[in-house]
Structure 1
């Protein structure tokens, strides 16, 4: 409410990363914009890191009061409890006020022995909660879904508009009235939504992928569809569409709303369809720089389109709509569909609504757009344009799912930001920490970096296997912590002292995972899913065995955890290599880090740490 004017925010809201398409945001082009945005990012990083310094110091002091393995086990149980509370808070659609209130209350428990500290803490917590609860835009209804912040407002015509992360996301239309044809703008919108049903009138079974607030579902009902499965990952958007769409598509008996990840549903369902419609799925905010620096959608990959093709009935039609803001992105979608349909090029139509370009192809391939489908509409056949386009693109796959990167290029523009993060970390370490990291804890840094890469790979592939829903991701993270806890308990129970067998099993399991991933992965059957879970979680267990075994022989658990966390941060930075090499490369990178950690004791024996003389 009392912030800067839009023109004053242009520099700090510009995107400094050039390798990916920035939808809904400007890209930094001038030195002033680059300086402003990097200064702002560094400031945010330093403030965020400083907020965790007292918590880290408190955690380190508490862990030094207990035996090392027991302290580490309790730390893992606390992390697991935090993940479970996060799942509960997400399921209840709670706002950040609730999240921070619980965190503040937990921290205040440690201030109880001192009355003055407790009073100051309560005052600071109350002020922080009031600031978080302060209304910013009262004309917009805020909904904190498990995935994102949604803001519901209404246009001048009284129709719902949805913003996500502060940017335009969706709007609903009332196209059922005959008067819709009298307004040129509404007619253009209706022509776009009705296109699939001009090509395939009155289909028996329709799947709308990315159903959103219900515009595509309403179009299917107007087109005479007998049964419609409406797949939308965000339950809050389904609720908003059910409550606010003027055509009431989600209350129709012919519609079955399904809150699920689109890729997971198409992979696991046994239903087949006459028509599958991708309704501008995530083509605005969710997969853009506005909400995430990293883009790894498994919906827009060659393998994803092949699975959608497999769900078509004989003669069935696949319709993919996407807001192609650049010719390269449109060409990339064209090439991906061509590969998914064994070289058969799709038909392409320019809709003129929200920049939408529509790609159409039948199960057997060779679809030819009938001229009458575009008659008396503003739609244009763009098949020849994309067929003859000279734009150079690399198609997205499950190993390299970065759809918004037209070419597979190394993310050079990220290096400056990552370097500034490292410099900021070094500044904080040298300023706030009197004790310097020791050479003896370097192995734990390599273990932390390797574990971060393995964890990233596990979350990515298990999300692909079971669906990238918030429940699956939360359960996977909880599973990672459980595996680490079980490994720590095994070391404590059986008094393991040598990590060599665990190292060998760790490297062997990573090598096996790399080979299976290179071969195309395991099938999506029940047995294949169980095998995937075992294959992806076993490296986490063996890594936990190694870490806890080495931890039991060290002196300071706080120093070990600090080195491990620094290594984990380095692993997070190394994970950006997947933007060029693909996610499978993380296996090789993790194997190299673990091999270095395994060989580290030999290096220490060859180059012992100097001992300071006693004065």
Structure 2
């Protein structure tokens, strides 16, 4: 018999449990890669491990319904200790066909596979512990009622973490709120040794978070930010432990200052730029350089508000205090879509999020800035005689060739390129526009790629395949191996947990498993759509997740009041999936924004609504809500693996994969295999 908790109503306890699980999942996804750089290269491994842990926790609760969620704090302590003890800010060796921006190749170390494996194992164990109350709570009330309170808790967890992100709170606050959520769920009984160990572990986690806070790092919605002063004397910013940008006093012209800031002004010495747009303005050095060259006005666009605030407070030239400068905190692509202004100079100023992009389906902050459609948007915002410039430490010639090919497609002539191979790591300036196209021959130090070079360049990146740092579509062999090992680990763990909990194989539902995988991919596609249409920002993602959960609640309400026939639910689902496939996100780039939002919501959320009609219709009929939910969560874990298909086929064709999975789910619902016998009858 389960012990009496401080909160006795099962509905309230279910909301608290679900809120704790989603809050913890978001916390770990946000915190771990900020401490261990290379875990971010396997970004959705933490997500997959979270799903696996929740599914295993539901299974184990059948054998141990008396164990409270605080037991999850023991592996959480081990996880936090592992992260802090291996906080190396290490670098992955770059392999052919991939690029990582933000480090010197001389500082590379091999990926610590043991640490990554330990992270996956401990995330799984912690989430399993926190999920132990979920199974009994799901089984304690009618399935649809239980599911509705589970979704309410999930919305609360998303809202809570989004609020903390908006307030730029540090991890100490995140872990303290997690402790409060666990404390509320504590049983009213005399503490056992296991309880004492759980609370001691939780106290130790808070203690480690306090020590982390003492270091003085700042946390924006995107990064762990460290401000430091290197040997060259200029204050610098590191994000997630990676050197990111320096705040140079422009007048000093330090020899170690990046050489590319001035090049466009040297290329066109007689040209005056009355209006400039700088996307990726950061802490202000690009803006300060523009002002030093007598640019009339600067629109500085930066996605990270904390980095911009650091520039306001600490940049020696105080560029953001200049009345010629106007600041916008926004995603660069979204700004280009919203503004009607035209500029004499548009600069993409080191717009990278310092993350390796090879085989993760998750978007980066700059994903939709380096596509042909984005370059065309920049071109369309140039005034007559305007110039478009991008610069960075590109390191790989194929990446420079790719951008050259894309700019040739957009502007009608290959760009001029200026390289600095002798300056630390090779930095490159790429310039296009009518004045640049008219320069012939190329000035000393500059070059224009030949037609053969442009033709042989890797395929352009597009809004459907926004992966600029991946040379060719595909999944690297080392990731295939890692994902295979992860799936084998999951299979062994689920089988062992089911055996320990005496859960018969007949309780497992292939129907709910496939529904979980399909819905995870459908959610991914919705996030991609809204990121393209409204910006790749944390608040857009939070709003989309909340809207998805709200559509789930709507589907539950419909199923509770009107039992939607299975044929109606599937017909609506496949019809809206067909519409989503025939109308890609680019077709929804219309104005005004309110109309764009309504169209995008209808196209993106209609399949989600019908998918949840399918799920809730089946969930209402299941005799074992906890086993069905566990099957669904484990399926979502496999959906996280299937996300990698986007690296090969693009995001639009994920709709076809989703449709195929729902066909498979429909077939399983008509069979008499395992737990799906109840659905077939």
TM-score over 0.5 for the pair: yes
Matched, 1:350 2:405: no
Matched, 1:523 2:600: no
How much has 1:162 moved relative to structure 2?
0.9
- 1:162 counterpart (223, 229, 237): 237
Q: 2-side partners of 1:38 and 1:436: how far apart?
A: 34
Contact kept? 2:509, 2:674, Cα under 8 Å: no
Matched, 1:569 2:642: no
1:98/1:205 CA distance change after superposition, 3 Å: same
Contact kept? 1:159, 1:173, Cα under 8 Å: yes
- 1:466 counterpart (515, 534, 538): 534
Matched, 1:404 2:469: yes
After TM superposition, list the pairs within 5 Å mapping 1:179-194 onto structure 2. Answer: 180=253, 184-186=255-257, 189=258, 192-194=260-262
1:390/1:559 CA distance change after superposition, 3 Å: same
Query: What is the aligned partner in structure 2 of residue 613 from structure 1?
Result: none
Query: What is the aligned partner in structure 1 of residue 100 from structure 2?
Result: 22
Contact kept? 1:76, 1:481, Cα under 8 Å: yes
Matched, 1:443 2:518: no
Query: What is the aligned partner in structure 1 of residue 138 from structure 2?
Result: 63
Contact kept? 1:361, 1:367, Cα under 8 Å: no
How much has 1:94 moved relative to structure 2?
0.9
SS of the residue corresponding to residue 80 of structure 1 reads: helix
Q: 2-side partners of 1:19 and 1:193: how far apart?
A: 28
- 2:343 counterpart (262, 273, 286): 273
How much has 1:603 moved relative to structure 2?
3.1
**Stretch moving more, 300-309 or 119-128:** 119-128
After TM superposition, list the pairs within 5 Å mapping 1:44-55 onto structure 2. Answer: 44-55=119-130
How much has 1:594 moved relative to structure 2?
0.5
Matched, 1:603 2:671: yes
Matched, 1:123 2:191: no
The one-character-per-residue Cα deviations of 1:273-320 (angstroms, maximum 9, x if unpaired) are: 1110111111xx533269978555111001110111111111111111
SS of the residue corresponding to residue 604 of structure 1 reads: coil
- 1:423 counterpart (470, 482, 488): 488
Matched, 1:587 2:655: yes
Question: Which aligned runs of 4 or more in structure 1 are off by greater than 6 angstroms?
Answer: 8-12, 290-293, 369-372, 605-610
Contact kept? 1:318, 1:363, Cα under 8 Å: no
1:365/1:175 CA distance change after superposition, 3 Å: closer
Contact kept? 2:393, 2:428, Cα under 8 Å: yes
- 1:298 counterpart (365, 368, 379): 368
1:387/1:166 CA distance change after superposition, 3 Å: farther
The one-character-per-residue Cα deviations of 1:411-469 (angstroms, maximum 9, x if unpaired) are: 33321111111111122212333315537611111111111111000001101101111
Contact kept? 2:416, 2:436, Cα under 8 Å: no
- 2:176 counterpart (101, 115, 124): 101
After TM superposition, list the pairs within 5 Å mapping 1:506-545 onto structure 2. Answer: 506-517=573-584, 520-526=587-593, 527-545=595-613
SS of the residue corresponding to residue 229 of structure 1 reads: strand
1:363/1:265 CA distance change after superposition, 3 Å: farther
Q: 1-side partners of 2:479 and 2:309: how far apart?
A: 38
**Stretch moving more, 160-169 or 583-592:** 160-169
1:436/1:134 CA distance change after superposition, 3 Å: farther
Backbone CA RMSD of aligned residues: 3.2
Contact kept? 1:15, 1:26, Cα under 8 Å: no
- For structure 2, list consecutive stretches of 5 or more residues without a partner in the other structure: 1-34, 36-80
Contact kept? 2:234, 2:248, Cα under 8 Å: yes
Query: What is the aligned partner in structure 1 of residue 291 from structure 2?
Result: 221
- 1:578 counterpart (640, 646, 656): 646
Contact kept? 1:437, 1:559, Cα under 8 Å: no
Contact kept? 2:405, 2:457, Cα under 8 Å: no
Q: 2-side partners of 1:568 and 1:135: how far apart?
A: 33
1:54/1:439 CA distance change after superposition, 3 Å: closer
How much has 1:585 moved relative to structure 2?
1.4
Matched, 1:550 2:621: no
Q: 2-side partners of 1:291 and 1:242: how far apart?
A: 36
SS of the residue corresponding to residue 583 of structure 2 reads: helix
The one-character-per-residue Cα deviations of 1:112-138 (angstroms, maximum 9, x if unpaired) are: 412315655433221111122224984
Query: What is the aligned partner in structure 1 of residue 433 from structure 2?
Result: 362
The one-character-per-residue Cα deviations of 1:196-255 (angstroms, maximum 9, x if unpaired) are: 233264311110010011111001111111111000000011011111111110111110
Q: 2-side partners of 1:519 and 1:227: how far apart?
A: 32
1:47/1:25 CA distance change after superposition, 3 Å: farther
**Stretch moving more, 124-133 or 407-416:** 407-416
- 1:288 counterpart (350, 356, 361): 356
Contact kept? 1:347, 1:369, Cα under 8 Å: no
How much has 1:157 moved relative to structure 2?
4.7
How much has 1:606 moved relative to structure 2?
13
Q: 1-side partners of 2:249 and 2:435: how far apart?
A: 35
SS of the residue corresponding to residue 430 of structure 1 reads: helix
1:17/1:47 CA distance change after superposition, 3 Å: farther
TM-score under structure 2 length normalisation: 0.79
Contact kept? 1:309, 1:363, Cα under 8 Å: no
**Stretch moving more, 521-530 or 80-89:** 521-530
Q: 2-side partners of 1:286 and 1:397: how far apart?
A: 20
- 1:414 counterpart (479, 504, 529): 479
- 2:569 counterpart (502, 505, 510): 502
Contact kept? 2:564, 2:613, Cα under 8 Å: no
Higher relative contact order at CA 8 Å, sep ≥6: structure 1 or structure 2?
Answer: 2
Query: What is the aligned partner in structure 2 of residue 377 from structure 1?
Result: none
The one-character-per-residue Cα deviations of 1:5-30 (angstroms, maximum 9, x if unpaired) are: xxx99998545976532345699xx9
Contact kept? 1:83, 1:474, Cα under 8 Å: yes
Q: 1-side partners of 2:675 and 2:173: how far apart?
A: 52
Query: What is the aligned partner in structure 1 of residue 395 from structure 2?
Result: 325
How much has 1:361 moved relative to structure 2?
1.1
Q: 1-side partners of 2:262 and 2:104: how far apart?
A: 32
Q: How many residues align?
A: 583
The one-character-per-residue Cα deviations of 1:536-583 (angstroms, maximum 9, x if unpaired) are: 111111111111111110111111110101111111111101101111
